[in-house]
Amino acid sequence: MLPRDFIPVLITFLVVGGFAWITLLATHLLGPKRYSPEKMDTYECGVDYRDDARSRFSIKFYLVGVLFVIFDLEVVFMYPWAVNFRELGLFGFASMGVFLVILTIGLLYEWKKGALEWE
């Protein structure tokens, strides 16, 4: 590969960067500016970024976090399995089936226990 062949890539970079830059500039120039403390916040997400570490927050965050991890990992397992689906054959298929059945029962369980309801 010659350096010349990378020119399209460079062009892409310029276009993308330029688009971002132009958009930001345009909103800065065109948009109305009404400041408020929330807007001046670093992440602007509603949570104080600097606070007492011992403050309380709802246990439900923890629950949602755990549930997210479980189903996130499910996908992590499924990717390599999908890639090797043929080689793993029936055994692999059955294993994943068992895994999904267990997860489904887990899902039913959390549903029944009300873990999916915020209030």
Partner 1 sequence: MFEQLISDMHVSRMLPEILVLVVALAAILVDIVTPAGRSTRPVQITSIVGLLVVIASTLFVHNNGPAFGGMVEIDSFTIFFRVVLTMLTIIIMAVSENYIQLVKIRIAEYYLMLLFALFGMMLMTMANDLLIVFLGIETMSVSLYALVGMSRHRESSNEGALKYFLLGSFTTAFFVYGIALLYGAVGSTNILDITVYFQRTGMNLPIIAWAGTLLVLVAFAFKTALVPFHWWSPDAYEGAPTTITAFMSTAPKAAAFAAFLRIFYVGFGEVSDGWTTALWWIAVLTMTVGNLMALRQDSIKRMLAFSSITHAGYLVVAMLTYDVIGGAAMLFYLVIYGFMNIGAFLVAIALNRNEDDDRGYDINDYKGLAFRKPLIAFLMMIFMLALAGIPPTAGFFGKYYIFSAAVKSGFIGLAVIGVLNSAVSVYYYLRVVVTMYLKERDEKTEGRIFWKPDMAFAVIVCAVLVMYFGIAPDQLLKVATASIGALW
Q: Which residues bind partner 1 (CB under 8 A)?
A: 84, 87-89, 91-92, 101-102, 105, 108-109, 112
> Rounded to a whole number, what is the distance in angstroms from the first to the last CA of the chain?
59
Give the nearest distance from C-beta 80 to partner 1 in angstroms: 12
Nearer to partner 1, 23 or 95 (CB): 95
Give the nearest distance from C-beta 63 to partner 1 in angstroms: 14
Give the nearest distance from C-beta 58 to partner 1 in angstroms: 18
Listing DSSP states for the chain in one string gives: --GGGGHHHHHHHHHHHHHHHHHHHHHHHHS-----HHHHSSS-SSS-SS--TT----HHHHHHHHHHHHHHHHHHHHHHHHHTHHHHHHHHHHHHHHHHHHHHHHHHHHHHTTTT---
Give the nearest distance from C-beta 95 to partner 1 in angstroms: 9
